[in-house]
Amino acid sequence: MDIDDPRVEENLSELARTLAKSGDSAFIKDLLRCLLTPSETADIAARWALVKALKQQVPQRQIAKDLGISLCKIVRGSRELKKPGSAFQKIAVSKLPVG
């Protein structure tokens, strides 16, 4: 499936609703491990760690060193975190502890 295929949005929306309804973090973790390759799982975990590090105001170069991710990904995450109303900002403000 290409990114511009309408089925991408349809299936992503359905997956999001399914995960939201489950309310079971162990199930969601297991499902993600079933859906994703080990490499994709590691990438998503690194992106989540990035959001937490940005929220704790860890310097970007330190994040790159600690997580082994590119400064481009870090800058992208930082922009998303600063964007009013973005999902990153909403989750960071409401769900993540301050470091």
Domain assignments of the chain as residue spans, ordered by start = 1-35, 38-99
What is the per-residue pLDDT across 11-52, written as a single tens digit (0 to 9) for each?
A: 999 999 999 999 899 999 999 999 999 999 999 999 999 988
- Helical segments of the chain, H only: 6-22, 25-35, 38-55, 60-67, 71-82, 87-95
The C-alpha atoms of residue 89 and residue 61 are separated, in whole angstroms, by 21
The C-alpha atoms of residue 25 and residue 86 are separated, in whole angstroms, by 23
Give the model's pLDDT for residue 81.
86
What is the per-residue pLDDT across 47-61, written as a single tens digit (0 to 9) for each?
A: 999 988 998 999 999
What b/e string do you get for 4-15 counting C-beta neighbours within 10 Å, with b at 16 or more?
Answer: eeeeeeeeeeee
pTM over 0.75: yes
**What angle do the packed helices 38-55 and 25-35 form, to 10 degrees?**
130
